[in-house]
Structure 1
Amino acid sequence: MGKIVGFGCLGIVGLFVLIAAIGAVSGGSDKTAKPPAASQPANGVAPSKAPQAAPSKAAEKKAAVAVVGKKTAFAKSVIAQDGEYTSVSVTVTNNSSKSINVNPLYFAITDTNGSKHTAELGADENQIATVELAPGENVTGAITGKGAFTPKTVWYTDGLIGTAVRGDVS
C-alpha cells in the first residue's frame, strides 16, 4: 500500500515538473516585441523595404522603460566556468510612474546571427544588480552570455512574463 501511495505522489510531482519544463521551453514570448530575423532568402537578394510612416505621437512619447546596451569586456568571476563569454553593459532607466523590478534573469542578448543567448548568472563580476527602480531611477551592470558572439540587441522583460523592451548594443 505504501508503494502505491508513494508512486502516486511521485507521479503528481513529475507532472508538475513536466508542466514547468514545458513552460520554461515555450518561454511566454511577447507577441509585440520579437527579435529581428537575421536570415536572408536563398537567392541572396534582400527584399525591398516599404517606406516607413512617420512615428505617431504616442511613439514619440518617452518609453516607460529605456534599455541601452554597450559591448564591454568580460570580467570573470569566481563562479564562472571555463569557456568563452560575451558581456554587454546595460543601463535600464525607469521612465514610468510605477516602480519596476530589475533582475539578471529578465535579460537576453540577441547576436548578429539572430541567436538568442540567456543571461549566465554570476559569470561576470559586474553583473547587473537585482533591484527595484523607482520612477526616474536607473541601474547599470553587465549581462553575460555563454560563448563568443557579437551582440546586436539586449532584451529586458519586466518580470518573467511581462512586456519585452529592446535596446540596441553599440
Structure 2
Amino acid sequence: MSHQDPQPGWGGPPAGQGGPPPPRRSSAGKIIGFSCLGVLALVVVLVIAVMATGGGDDEPDRTPTSPAATRETPASQRPQEEGPEGDVKISACAVDSATRWASAELLITNRSSKSSNYIVQVEFVDASGRRLDEATAATNNVAPGQQSKVTAQGLTQITAKITCRITDVTRYAS
C-alpha cells in the first residue's frame, strides 16, 4: 500500500502544528456565583446576630421620638415619657469650631428592669427645620437605673446654628 496524503478539508492539522488555541473559559459565572454565596452568608450572619441579641425587654423595642416635643419643650418641663425615648436626654448640642462637625451629647438613663443596649438616632437641623446631618450613638450593658454619657457625632461640615433632635431610640435587653 502506498502512503496517501489526507484530502484537504478532512480533519484538523496534525498535532503540534498551527491552528487557533482553544477558547478561554470565562470566569464570570464563578464570580457571580461566589458573590451570591457571600451575600447569602452575610444575610444568615445578620439574622443570627439579631436573633441572639433581640427581645426580652419589658417595654416596646422601638418607638420613634416626637421631634416636635424634643424641639419645642425643654426636657425639664416635659412629663416623663414612656418607653425607651424617655431614657435619652440631649445635654449639649454644638458645632465644633475646628472641624465644623455637629455633635450631640446624650445622657441615657436605663429606666427598664433589665440591663439594656441602646441605639439613638439624632438629626441636626438649621433654624428653618432643614436637616443638615444625622448621627448615631450607641451604648451597651447599661444596668437598671444606671446612666451612660455618649456622643452622636456628625461628619458633615456645618456653618449654620443648629438644633439637635432625637429621631429614634432603640432599647433591647443585653
Q: What is the TM-score when the length of structure 1 is the normalising length?
A: 0.47
Higher strand share: 2
Choose 1 or 2 for highest CA Rg.
2
